[in-house]
Amino acid sequence: MLLSLVYRWYERRLEGVVRRGAIPQHVGVLPDGNRRFARIAGMGSVDEGHRQGVATIERLIQWCDDLEIPVITIWVLSTDNFNRPAEELAGIFRLVEERIDGLAEAQAKAKRPRRVRAVGRRDLMPAATLAAIERVEQATVHHEGGGLLVAVGYDGREEIVDAVRQLLRDHVAGGDSLESVASALDADEIGRYLYASDVPDPDLIIRTSGELRLSGFLLWQSAYSEYYFCDVYWPAFRRIDFLRALRSYGDRERRRGR
């Protein structure tokens, strides 16, 4: 009881510090550590770790709503993750299909409903999972309270390759020569071909589980992002951990290369 009271007091104090400082407008999250959490906790399968990880994602969205953070990008599955055992992948896709409609319902009731979009290789996903994702995208397409990007079958290098490939196709279809395209090509034009080019770059990227790398997450967009690495496994990530990340962000001076 005493520990709970101290925790709540510290959380409120921490939130006060965060609200007085700079708050990011776009937070990217690598929710890492579901499988390790499941093994350490003695769970019967990694599916339960992923299930608890999804519950943490749902809480994160609420935390961002409370602090009026407009955009969230969450990396659910990388293209490399498709090399995992088929049974584990099937469990992840089942979870997406089970919880995605609830996400749409929650956003419909939210004070600032978010538009939900998936970014990544849709051709890698099972038909039922893709249909579920497209349902929530359609249900939230007119929401203007913020954005929630779900990176599924995503790899930052592939996103850049896809962007350049489509850019070249459009120019060639318009009658431009490759030489003229190459001479005029710049970063801004490539940026317009990214998966969600209308979304601002992330201000803060959080990775859990103690890993100190991006692993290909938003490689183009993260050039001037601030990074925060946390030792906690994702299913155990608490609001207090999130507030600590935001406090760290607020304490930094962002020069953006200047």
Q: Could you tell me the domains of the chain?
A: 2-250 (3.40.1180.10)
- Rounded Cα distance between 94 and 170, Å, is 37
**pLDDT for 195-214, tens place per residue?**
999 999 999 999 999 999 99
> b or e along 208-220 (b: 16 or more beta carbons within 10 Å of the residue's beta carbon)?
bbeeeebebbbeb
Which pTM does this prediction carry? Answer: 0.95
Tell me the C-alpha distance between 14 and 150, whole Å: 28
**Catalytic pick among 32, 65, 155, 201:** 32
- Residue-level pLDDT at 257: 66
Which listed residue (34, 65, 80, 81) is catalytic?
81
Hey, which residues does 233 pair with through a beta bridge? none
pLDDT in tens, 37-79: 999 999 989 999 999 999 999 999 999 999 999 999 999 999 9
Tokens matching residue 95: 């979870």
81 is catalytic: yes
